[in-house]
Structure 1
Amino acid sequence: MPLDPLPLKSNTPDAPIITGHGSQLAKLTISLTELISRETDLLKDRKPREAQKLHGEKSRLMAEYRETLNRVRVNEHTLGPKGSPERNYLKDLTDTFRAVLRDHARVVLRLKSVSEGLIRSVGEEVAKRNRPVVGYGKNAATQPAPRSRPTSLALNQVI
């Protein structure tokens, strides 16, 4: 597939024109940054179903990003010398992408700990309610507790 030179979106008005695999990497970085930002916003707004709908596209973009990054590493010389505008532009895009990923990870971990806490507290409450009553039997001796079936809860949903 031919990779056309294309000026890309950037926070800086003088975004360099990048060609080849570097151009593809920049496009994918921008797309992933926007997609993960949108997913993070949906999770913050407590809309996990809508965020889950983005998972397929995110997986596809991540696979393509990984392949393109490997190609860029192999053909690193196409980006020009160290400190070139093209390399600096890609570095800025990557730094922004990493910041978005850190924010996303923070939100996901927070939601995960909340979910686990809810599951744990429900499980503890169920265990309390199912706790056998120990009483006295004949001759004032304590009766052995009848065996109760264990209760377990699990949350099986991928976000």
Structure 2
Amino acid sequence: MNEQNGGHNAGLLSPGELQSLLAKLTDILEQENRQLDARKPRALQETAQEKNRLVAIYNQQMRLIAASPDAFRKASDARAVEALKTASRSFHESLDEHFRKLSTVKSVTEGIVKSISAEVEKQSRPAPGYGANAHLRPAGVAARQTSAATSIALNRVI
């Protein structure tokens, strides 16, 4: 792989180099999928930098191939291209699974935050009180008369 200054230059990689890149990305995604299955989403931070670097190179290569597909076909033999296609299918399967798992984690997290927020709001709402004529006052009137406005701050000590 052509590397300089920790990044990647604008040269087109060979099918073998692209296959190696996809294998590394697939390995990282499968490792992250196992971490998500083990309910350890914070462990994804360990591979984030390398994954981001490889994804940037992959995206750059896909742009280069899209810009000149004939140049890529001419520089490649059929067997190498078939191996690259196989690696690409495996990568996309792992990527789809990774997306589903991350979407699930995101949905669960959002649900927890909404539940906590609803419970905090419910508990901070004052009970309706009785007025001078022994009738139940509406909750809004009771709140204005018995407490000041409150706000919710997440991730902060109040």
* TM-score bucket (shorter structure): 0.7 to 0.9
Deviates more, 1:93-102 or 1:121-130: 121-130
Q: Does 1:50 align with 2:51?
A: no
- Partners of 2:14 and 2:75 in 1: how far apart? 16
Determine the structure 1 residue equivalent to 2:60: 67
The number of residues matched between the two structures is 139
What percent identity do the matched residue pairs reach? 31
The residue type paired with residue 146 of structure 1 is A
Q: 2:96 aligns with which of 91, 102, 105?
A: 102
Is residue 26 of structure 2 the alignment partner of residue 25 of structure 1?
Answer: no
Alignment gaps of 5+ in structure 2: 4-11
Q: CA, structure 1 residues 134+22, in 2 after alignment: closer, same or farther (shift >3 Å)? A: same
* TM-score, structure 1 as length reference: 0.74
SS at match of 2:113: helix
Separation (CA, whole Å) in 1 of partners of 2:16 and 2:62: 11
Distance in 2 separating the partners of 1:98 and 1:64: 16
Return 5+ residue gaps in structure 1 as ranges: 4-18, 155-159
Measured in 2, the distance between the counterparts of 1:51 and 1:100 equals 15
Q: Root-mean-square deviation (CA), in Å?
A: 2.8
The structure that is helix-richer by fraction is 2
Letter of the structure 2 residue corresponding to residue 24 of structure 1? E
Provide the residue aligned with 1:9 in structure 2: none
Q: Is the 8 A contact 1:40 1:104 kept in 2?
A: yes
The alignment status of 1:88 with 2:82, answered yes or no, reads yes
Equivalent in the alignment of 1:10: none
The DSSP-based 3-state class of the residue aligned with 2:39 is coil
Secondary structure, aligned partner of 1:46: coil
- Contact kept, 8 Å, 1:134 with 1:145, in 2: the verdict is yes
